[in-house]
Amino acid sequence: MKILKLFLIIFLIFSINALKADNEVIKNKITKNLRCLICQGQSVYDSDSEFANSLKIVVDNKINEGLSEKQIYSYFQSKYGEWILYDPLFNKNTYFLWLLPLLIFFIGGAIIFNKFVKKQK
């Protein structure tokens, strides 16, 4: 019985650690995608400014509240605008931004394909 209790305690400690590590990974991922507004050009993850440190706490709190990564981005976007995100979300304002490289890729491909086919003929 004692051994069983010991196993249970060890299992609990490990699972809590794993959960914490998971949260840390998500937190790092999110703060790397948030722009520090004080030291522009640095992410919140890299910055040690007062603003960035507070933002890290807020990200931590939001993760603990159970918000998803997308919900956290939307939250910051509602407070500071789209510019705070390094990777802008896919919405009607950013369709052009996201789809233009694809469009250029397909048009370029079509031109190359056309030339290749013509040469073959």
The binding site for another protein (CB under 8 A) comprises 37-38, 40, 50-51, 53-55, 57-58, 61, 78-81, 83-84
Query: What is the rounded end-to-end Cα distance, in angstroms, of the chain?
Result: 82
> Is residue 85 within 8 Å of 76, Cβ to Cβ?
yes
Name the minimum Å distance from CB 38 to another protein. 6
Contacts (Cβ under 8 Å, ≥6 apart) of 55? 31, 34, 36, 44, 76
Name the minimum Å distance from CB 40 to another protein. 6
d(CA 45, CA 42) in angstroms, rounded, equals 8
Name the minimum Å distance from CB 50 to another protein. 6
Which token pair is 71?
Answer: 């919900």
* Residue (23 or 77) nearer to another protein, CB: 77
* Residue (81 or 109) nearer to another protein, CB: 81
Name the minimum Å distance from CB 26 to another protein. 18
* Residue (78 or 120) nearer to another protein, CB: 78
